């Protein structure tokens, strides 16, 4: 049991093969920077100290993470992994142990890391290794006749016999702090790369009689690193596959688990159905019996039970009540709140608007900065003209109002309870309750007019 855990994440690499001006560790996987995945895993272990060593990309790396409780260490010259850890050594405790992670190995699981830490018996070293059918480029794990780890030999320094070894170093290890600081001070760069290898501390530990306990990850892909766009795309699909499997295990019906992207947190109730090519960003909550049809994008959305999202709908920072019907081709922008049984149809855009129970906006309309009451019907082609060129203004449409097609409501304006706006109207003044308001020649309100009622 480790009394005090420090964690160091090495994230100074350039990532030349990414062919990008963006630092490698800031490239997104599932909507979050590679380094962000590693930081989240590290924090779940509850470290006493969390340090990140950065270099290429300069201050853009620490500036991307503003949530604090991270000590940032700048490795001005990149002279190898051992050199990187040397830069952080002064900030580590003298007792306890340090877990070394990598900012470009984003899929490492907390379960595997706990297994590695549990492998540290007293002041021993914990080493994460994996066996690969093709170990090209990896440092080989060299064991003695009793099967104990003896050293790690980098691929470029390995002889023919050593290169035949398939057990390789993942780079992830846990070291006792007191011994680690001594080993780091003794590192030399007399190798093919001219770098200070962190892996050399394994041979030093063995020479000092410190046991090296190796363990393996739950899945080999947990320790895959990212060095190119192709590798990043491969890890993206691995990540999304694992997300899809977990969703289906909880009863979510995915029409094709290979065609879903979760770039944040997706929380689903019972009997949720998701069609192909849907993207979920931020935090998305789907209630019981929600259906999301094909090719929808949902970002920071909460959807009540029984609601249906038709194809090609874009919904962001929106709350939708129970039994709603959205789309197809609907766009709901930030600040939109829909109550129960609301219908938003094809090519309708809402922004910063609240729509109460049972109201319908079914066709080709823009409703922005608007409060819509209960059981309102807004006809096709309606626009709330909320912007005067300098300021935004609000439109209020009260309960049971009926807005005819091709209407412009020039805010600030109020349509009274039960009012009817004739088709083609441009409304610039408040429309009285329970009256028909027209403006085809000039705006006229007709007292005593009654809306047509369907016969039995």
State the catalytic residues.
Answer: 363
Q: Are 116 and 126 in contact (CB under 8 A)?
A: yes
Task: Give the pair of three-digit tokens for residue 454.
Answer: 């369907």
Tell me the residue ranges of DSSP E strands in 111-176: 125-131, 140-143, 149-153, 167-176
Which DSSP string corresponds to 262-311? Answer: EEEEEEE-TT-EE-TTEEEEEEEEE-TT-EE-TT-EEEEEEE-TT-EE-T
Task: Report strand pairing: 436-438 vs 426-427.
Answer: unpaired
How far is it, in rounded angstroms, from Cα 370 to Cα 393?
9
Half-sphere exposure in the Cβ direction for 275 (13 Å, CA) = 13
How far is it, in rounded angstroms, from Cα 92 to Cα 7?
9
CA 306 to chain centre: 26
How far is it, in rounded angstroms, from Cα 37 to Cα 44?
11
- Shortest CA distance to 265 belongs to which of 302, 214, 223, 314? 302
189's enclosing H/E stretch is none
């Amino acid at each position: 049991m480790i009394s005090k855990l420090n964690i160091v994440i090495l994230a100074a690499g350039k990532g030349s093969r990414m062919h990008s001006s963006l630092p490698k560790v800031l490239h997104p996987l599932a909507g979050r920077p590679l380094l962000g995945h590693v930081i989240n895993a590290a924090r779940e272990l509850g470290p006493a100290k969390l340090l990140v060593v950065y270099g290429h990309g300069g201050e853009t790396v620490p500036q991307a993470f503003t949530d604090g409780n991270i000590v940032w260490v700048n490795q001005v010259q990149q002279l190898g992994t051992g050199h990187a850890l040397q830069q952080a050594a002064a900030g580590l405790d003298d007792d306890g142990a340090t877990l070394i992670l990598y900012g470009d190995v984003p899929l490492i699981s907390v379960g595997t890391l706990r297994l590695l830490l549990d492998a540290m018996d007293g002041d021993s070293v914990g080493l994460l290794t994996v066996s690969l059918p093709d170990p090209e480029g990896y440092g080989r794990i060299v064991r003695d006749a009793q099967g104990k780890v003896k050293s790690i030999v980098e691929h470029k320094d390995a002889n023919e016999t050593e290169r035949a070894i398939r057990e390789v170093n993942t780079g992830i290890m846990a070291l006792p702090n007191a011994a680690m600081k001594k080993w780091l001070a003794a590192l030399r760069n007399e190798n093919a790369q001219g770098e200070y290898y962190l892996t050399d501390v394994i041979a030093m530990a063995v020479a000092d009689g410190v046991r090296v306990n190796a363990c393996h990850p739950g899945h080999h892909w947990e320790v895959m690193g990212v060095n190119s766009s192709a590798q990043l795309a491969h890890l993206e699909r691995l990540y999304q596959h694992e997300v899809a499997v977990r969703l289906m295990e909880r009863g979510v019906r995915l029409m094709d688990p290979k065609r879903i992207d979760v770039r944040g947190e997706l929380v689903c109730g019972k009997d949720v159905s998701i069609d192909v090519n849907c993207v979920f960003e931020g935090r998305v909550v789907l209630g019981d019996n929600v259906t999301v049809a094909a090719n929808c994008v949902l970002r920071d959305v909460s959807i009540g039970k029984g609601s249906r999202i038709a194809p090609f709908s874009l919904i962001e920072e929106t709350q939708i009540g129970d039994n709603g019907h959205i789309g197809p081709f609907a766009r709901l922008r930030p600040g939109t709140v829909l109550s129960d049984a609301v219908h938003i149809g094809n090519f309708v855009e809402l922004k910063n608007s609240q729509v109460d129970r049972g109201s319908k906006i079914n066709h080709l309309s823009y409703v922005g900065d608007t409060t819509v009451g209960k059981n309102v019907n807004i006809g096709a082609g309606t626009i709330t003209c909320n912007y005067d060129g300098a300021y935004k203004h609000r439109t209020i449409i009260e309960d049971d109002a009926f807005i005819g097609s091709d209407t412009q409501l020039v805010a600030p304006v109020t349509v009274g309870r039960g009012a009817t706006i004739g088709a083609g109207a441009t409304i610039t003044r408040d429309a009285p309750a329970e009256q028909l308001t027209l403006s085809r020649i000039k705006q006229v309100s007709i007292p005593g007019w009654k809306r047509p009622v369907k016969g039995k």
